[in-house]
């Protein structure tokens, strides 16, 4: 009888230890789950804040509208660009325009720095994907890198003052605007070359 009681007590002790161990594991799990929950909340918050800040910067504090545009270029090559439009600009309130073209193995987004700053100062900006780059159809380098078609498209917009158009090209984008300038000599006022040796534009109006 004594041995039986000892066995019963021993079983109770073991059961108590197992229960306590399970409770500790559950508490540890709940603690870990709580940490993961707050880390997830913080990550989502950072993504949201980062996206909001990026939007405010890209749109100049909401003063610039950005359109993703497509238009047909020479030889049936579909061209792509981002159009930056300052607030208040339309067909009745025209603004000067700027064609901004990126360099080799890049895309229209790399012109954000130039485009945003130009648009903040009241210019309508077309940041163009060169032929065979970004969302513009191949082949690369075709149709004068796409600069001629980009300039024609910019001039076709009713919100743009066609008597006040400039061009900016970075690296190989300088060749694109240089070719456009040589073909359409009276279609622009001035050019800016960034990191390019080409000088076939009128630098000053």
Tokens encoding 43: 């990550």
The β-bridge relationship of strands 190-194 and 78-86 is: unpaired
**Contact by Cβ (8 Å): 194, 171:** yes
Count the neighbouring beta carbons within 10 Å of the beta carbon of residue 140: 14
Q: What is the pLDDT of residue 31?
A: 65
Q: Which two tokens stand for residue 4?
A: 């039986």
- pLDDT, residue 129, reads 98
Pairing of strands 64-72, 190-194: unpaired
For residues 79 and 153, the answer to whether their CB atoms sit within 8 Å is yes
> How far are the Cα atoms of 32, 37, 83, 175, 176 from residue 192, in angstroms, in the given order?
57, 51, 19, 11, 12
For the chain, residues with pLDDT lower than 70 are 1-34, 54-55, 57-60, 196-205
Number of Cβ atoms within 10 Å of the Cβ of 159: 16
Q: What DSSP string runs through 63-124?
A: TEEEEEEEEE-GGG-EEEEEEEEETT-SSSS-EEEEEEE--TT--GGGGHHHHHHHHHTT-E
Return the exposure string of 49-85: e unless at least 16 CB atoms fall within 10 Å of the residue's CB, then b. Answer: eeeeeeeeebbbeeebebeebebebeeebebbbbbbb
Has this prediction a pTM greater than 0.85?
no
Q: Are 95 and 159 in contact (CB under 8 A)?
A: yes
pLDDT of residue 39: 81
């Amino acid at each position: 009888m004594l041995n039986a009681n000892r066995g019963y007590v021993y079983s109770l002790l073991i059961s108590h230890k197992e229960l306590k161990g399970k409770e500790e594991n559950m508490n540890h799990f709940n603690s870990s789950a709580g940490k993961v929950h707050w880390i997830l909340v913080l990550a989502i918050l950072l993504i949201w804040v980062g996206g909001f800040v990026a939007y405010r910067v890209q749109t100049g504090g909401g003063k610039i509208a950005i359109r993703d545009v497509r238009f047909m270029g020479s030889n049936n090559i579909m061209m792509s660009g981002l159009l930056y439009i300052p607030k208040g600009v339309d067909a009745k309130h025209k603004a000067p325009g700027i064609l901004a073209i990126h360099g080799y193995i890049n895309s229209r987004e790399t012109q954000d720095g130039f485009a945003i700053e130009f648009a903040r100062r009241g210019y309508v900006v077309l940041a163009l994907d060169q032929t065979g780059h970004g969302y513009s159809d191949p082949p690369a380098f075709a149709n004068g890198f796409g600069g001629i078609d980009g300039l024609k498209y910019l001039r076709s917009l009713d919100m743009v003052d066609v008597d006040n158009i400039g061009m900016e090209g970075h690296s190989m984008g300088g060749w694109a605007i240089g070719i456009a300038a040589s073909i359409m000599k009276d279609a622009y006022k001035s050019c800016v070359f960034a990191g390019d040796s080409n000088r076939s534009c009128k630098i000053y109006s």
